[in-house]
Amino acid sequence: MKRNPPLPFCLPDMPRRRFLQGLAAGGVALGFGSLLGGSRAQAAAQAALAAAGNSVPVLRGTEFDLVIDETPVNYTGKARMATTINGSVPGPVLHWREGDTVTLRVTNRLKGSTSIHWHGILLPFEMDGVPGISYPGIAPGSTFVYRFKVKQAGTYWYHSHTGFQEQTGMYGSIIIEPAGGEKVRADRDYVVQLSDWTDENPVAAFAHLKKQSDYYNFIEPTAVNFFEDVSQMGLRKALATRRMWNQMRMSPADLADISAYTYTYLMNGVTPAGNWTGLFKRGERVRLRFINSGAMSFFDVRIPGLQMTVVEADGQLVEPVTVDELRIGVAETYDVIVEPKDDRAYTIFAQSMDRTGFARGTLAPRAGMQAEIPAVDMPVWLSMADMMGAMGQSGAMPGMDGMDHAKMDHGGMKMEMKGMQPGGHAMPGMSMGGMNHSAHAGMTMNGGGGMVKAHHARTEYGPSVDMRVDMPRTNLDDPGVGLRDNGRRVLTYADLHTIGGALDQRDAEREIELHLTGNMERYAWSLDGLEFGRSTPVHFRYGERLRVVFVNDTMMTHPMHLHGMWSEVETPSGGFQVRKHTVTVQPAQRVTFLLTADALGHWAWHCHLLYHMEAGMFREAVVA
């Protein structure tokens, strides 16, 4: 039986209203916050926010001057220093035009080094902005000049690639006008940039995770859940289920490493209480450019009362598809069209995947209006499919209480798991009948209809890997944990079809298989079991066409970003699906994509969950 755990809104020392909504002032970059008392600073911030119309600065043209500095902000009642671009969080919206050459002078006024990476932008690798890969970074007191030709159109973003600066506010959006004019008709056009803020020093937050990986997780199974299981399935089955998860040392609640216990979720730099607002007139077509600039947070986005027609994914036009809800992974972008028919306000609601909090804004015909804020959905724990892939969909794993669950072998389909959390975690409500047997259970098949087994590198058998999936699922029609069968039409990768198809019609000349690996107890994240620093670069031959196979051997969802080149995701049968710069890979899932190595140089390739990247899920790709 699939059952939801109780809501975790009893977090220690965290009043629910404060931790969900933040201050009404919204946390605008104060500039003068250190000179004012707390209440006066908040009032001044609120006035500044209102005067600015809840807007982010916009810069247009081909010449840009950007200054990186520290600026006081206040999202929670405590003043903190943010890393800002031209004094704001987010940084300015940059408007470019396809075909132009842009020059961006970035001046560093910080005490330490900094950088800016132009996410998803095709450019010479020397302009990509990744310290240690494409250049040394921008030293304190110096100015670096980025200059490149704009070769694409659509919605993109930019951010620091130095340490944890992205977490402390250093990000902004990019809108590139097509050379031939916009193909998507809209009367209004708004950027909706989502992010997560913590008052903690991110270095301290990272240290907490290294010491205890579930430090911020307050939806773990409890004794209360066990007794609920006993009442529903009987003592014997409840004990067997608890024993299974304890022996495997896995947690069904590994939805997010960092929760609203410390995070305040922002929309265009504004807290839920600040209520960012975009205006419309009844009957207008409104384009919303959703960008997930969170450091660690997936957002599930919906606008109650309005359907969203998705027209662009990662800056590339797609065949329009209408949905009620979409999940946007870290670093992804989705452009949608909405058409409000009534003279009323609508809530833009973006709840975190672990359901501990939300970002929120409003579409309204007049300033000051707001609509009802939906209740946060109940969190749903990971299923057997999320842990074991295609093997978890077989539907029959009887007699679990008599098996060695640390090394299970079902007809050659083996799932090996090493210890995770000391003491382990049970899976309340997860009887064998609670497995997901839906159409989302894609079996891994080859062209002839046989099972495809994952190929594990020798380096995966070490202390950096606590789990390996031999039979991953391949389906792209799964919206993901917490969104399955929720009564709403939810976007999946299977719904996305890039207009124009593949850029390169050649088939792959060779194939590379990379496994997304980790050890939660150690909070170590890696590719093929090797953290960055222990790994060697992946080499591409210039001009070659190759297939990349990602297999997620972990129970967390990873947004994987290859710099400098497009990733053309394939259907499970090998056809073209969608062109992206960030490919989200769900737990125990196998995703393949084709790429053309048409960009000479050294490129970063990493998980875009910032703390996972810092922990080692990062490779260098060399095209030569």
Q: What is the pLDDT of residues 316-362, one digit of tens each?
A: 999 999 999 999 999 999 999 999 999 999 999 999 999 999 999 99
Taking CA atoms, 596 is separated from 124, 154, 507, 601, in Å, by 15, 21, 10, 14
Write down the pLDDT at residue 235.
Answer: 83
Percent of the chain with pLDDT over 90: 73
At 13 the pLDDT is 45
pLDDT, averaged across the chain: 85
Q: Return d(Cα 365, Cα 110) in angstroms, integer.
A: 41
CA end-to-end span of the chain, whole Å?
Answer: 53
Confidence grade of residue 22 (pLDDT, cut at 50, 70, 90) = confident
pLDDT at residue 224 tops 80: no
Is residue 27 very low, low, confident or very high in pLDDT (cuts 50, 70, 90)? low
Query: Is residue 595 a contact partner of residue 122, using CB atoms and an 8 Å limit?
Result: no
User: Confidence class of residue 193 from pLDDT cuts 50, 70 and 90?
Assistant: very high
C-alpha–C-alpha distance, residues 455 and 471, integer Å: 10
260 versus 223: which is more confidently predicted? 260
- Indicate whether 59 pLDDT > 90: yes
User: pTM of the prediction?
Assistant: 0.87
What pLDDT, on the 0 to 100 scale, is given for residue 240?
75
Q: What is the pLDDT, as a whole number, of residue 417?
A: 37
Does residue 420 carry a pLDDT above 60? no
**310 versus 55: which is more confidently predicted?**
310
pLDDT of the residue at 387: 77
For residue 477, what are its two tokens? Answer: 């029609």
Residue 438 has a pLDDT of 35
The DSSP secondary structure of 86-109, one letter per residue, reads TTBSS-PEEEEETT-EEEEEEEE-
Whether residue 396 is predicted with pLDDT greater than 80 in this model: the reply is no
Tokens of residue 422, six digits: 């000391």
The confidence band for 384, taking pLDDT boundaries of 50, 70 and 90, is confident
Structure tokens at 519: 């050890």
User: DSSP secondary-structure letter at 596?
Assistant: E
The mean per-residue pLDDT over the stretch 118-140 comes to 98
Q: 263-277, 337-351, 456-470, 549-563: which range is least confident on average?
A: 456-470
- Looking at residue 262, what is its pLDDT? 98
pLDDT tens-digit profile of 300-313? Answer: 999 999 999 999 99
pLDDT value of residue 561: 98
Q: In the predicted model, is pLDDT for residue 422 greater than 60?
A: no
Residue 614 has pLDDT above 60, yes or no: yes
